[in-house]
Amino acid sequence: MVVSSAPGKVYLFGEHAVVYGEPAVPCAIERRARVTVEERDDGALRVHSTDLTLDGFTVEYDGAADASADVDVPEALVEAAVGYVDAAAAQARDAADRPDAGFDITIESELPLGAGLGSSAAVVVAGIDAATRELGVQLSAREIADRAYRVEYEVQDGQASRADTFCSAVGGAVRVEGDDCQPIRDVPNLPFVIGYDGGAGDTGELVAGVRRLKEEYPFAADTVESIGDLVRQGERALEAGDLEELGRLMNFNHGLLEALGVSSRSLDEMVWAARESDALGAKLTGAGGGGCIVVLDETEEARTALSYTPGCEETFRAELDTDGVRVEER
Ligand code: MEV
């Protein structure tokens, strides 16, 4: 039996535009998915989850996914979760050259599903690490990131960047532009606060919506390019440790994402509550549509304001996690 864990992430800048080759800066946070893998000799795959939003969910299958889980979450989310785990198991079999290996997989996650904190990437990264180790193979963090990216690419119908999976595999703050993925060294202390509306967005649908908009309206394509320019400016602010400029650029980034149609009323309400509490900046994080915002605030004000915001279900401080994927038990 092997237990591996991998961190979730927030986007300081650049989600969505990164899918079209613009740079993005995701940052790993100290909230993790833990995946336990034990080999089975009958070749089947059994998945059990105690995830925040999939509590008590168990699926057993040997090929075709039966996602009829007895849980109070949209069927599409359960199917997507099963799809990610299935594809991660296939990557582990391929890496270990054990096409018939079966697994018992248990997922415990501190990351709500589909809420912009990189839950699927963390589960896939930790799952590939634990399953390959269980089969006696040890992959580097970069190899795990690459295989996890292939899983996201497959499950999201070819609409995925390397950002979430690379960040989860190596930890810390990273820069992703197309296939070029690099850790960012000497990052200043980033006082992140998260606001969570209790909801979720469908990443595939949201990415497809931006693609359609971009194809229909040249100014939507310009908006995507403007996000790229903003990220380059943000990288300079990050290097200079200029938190005020980072906050201003986060506000700008949220406005551009809103223009691309990926925000929601509750995300906007949380962003405005944080801004009115004098936070340095606030934006949605991840695919959008519902889920989480990320705020830069050195004080307790934003957290207090968010805790009184009707659309906000949970708010917490998130520290940058400099560790990526790691073995917890074996
Ligand atoms: C989702 O967490 C981030 C997106 O940019 C999609 C991706 O990069 O694969 C919306």
Q: How far is the CA of 172 from the centre of ligand 1 (A)?
A: 17
The residue whose CA is least distant from atom 8 of ligand 1 is 161
Q: How many Å separate Cα 15 from the centre of its chain?
A: 10
Span between the terminal Cα atoms of the chain, in Å: 6
Dist CA 260 CA 278 (whole Å):
25
H helix intervals, the chain:
75-96, 119-134, 141-155, 163-170, 203-216, 218-240, 243-259, 265-276, 301-307
Q: How far is the CA of 11 from the centre of ligand 1 (A)?
A: 9
Q: How many Å separate Cα 252 from the centre of its chain?
A: 21
* 65 annotated to bind ligand: no
What's the predicted TM-score (pTM) here?
0.93
Q: Which of 11, 15, 181, 285, when mutated, tests ligand 1's pocket best, judged by the most ligand atoms within 8 Å of its CB?
A: 15
Q: How far is CA 176 from CA 6, 103, 247, 305, in A?
A: 18, 32, 20, 33
pLDDT tens digits, one per residue of 48-89: 887 656 555 566 554 444 444 444 556 666 677 788 899 999
The residue whose CA is least distant from atom 9 of ligand 1 is 160
Q: What residues of the chain score a pLDDT lower than 50?
A: 62-71
Dist CA 311 CA 327 (whole Å):
37
Asked if residue 271 lies in contact with residue 175, where contact means CB atoms within 8 angstroms, the answer is no
Closest CA to 46 of 17, 89, 14: 89
Q: Count CA atoms within 13 Å of residue 90 on its CB side.
A: 15
What integer pLDDT is reported at residue 316 of this predicted model?
96
pLDDT tens digits, one per residue of 191-222: 999 999 999 998 889 999 999 999 999 999 99
Residue type, 122: A
* 49 annotated to bind ligand: no
What integer pLDDT is reported at residue 63 of this predicted model?
44
- Range 2-184: architecture per CATH: 2-Layer Sandwich (3.30)
Q: Name the DSSP letter for residue 286.
A: T
What integer pLDDT is reported at residue 296 of this predicted model?
98
* 92 annotated to bind ligand: no
Q: Which of 161, 211, 285, when mutated, tests ligand 1's pocket best, judged by the most ligand atoms within 8 Å of its CB?
A: 161
Dist CA 170 CA 174 (whole Å):
8
Q: What are the residue numbers of the active site? A: 164
Reported residue count of the chain is 330
Domain segments of the chain as ranges? 2-184, 192-317
Phi, psi values for residue 44, rounded to 5°: -85, 170
Pocket of ligand 1 (CB under 6 A): 15-16, 18-19, 160-161, 163-164, 203, 207, 286-287
What integer pLDDT is reported at residue 76 of this predicted model?
66
192-317 fold: Alpha-Beta Plaits (3.30.70)
* 114 annotated to bind ligand: yes
Closest CA to 123 of 136, 105, 135: 105
Dist CA 101 CA 42 (whole Å):
8
Q: Name the DSSP letter for residue 260.
A: T
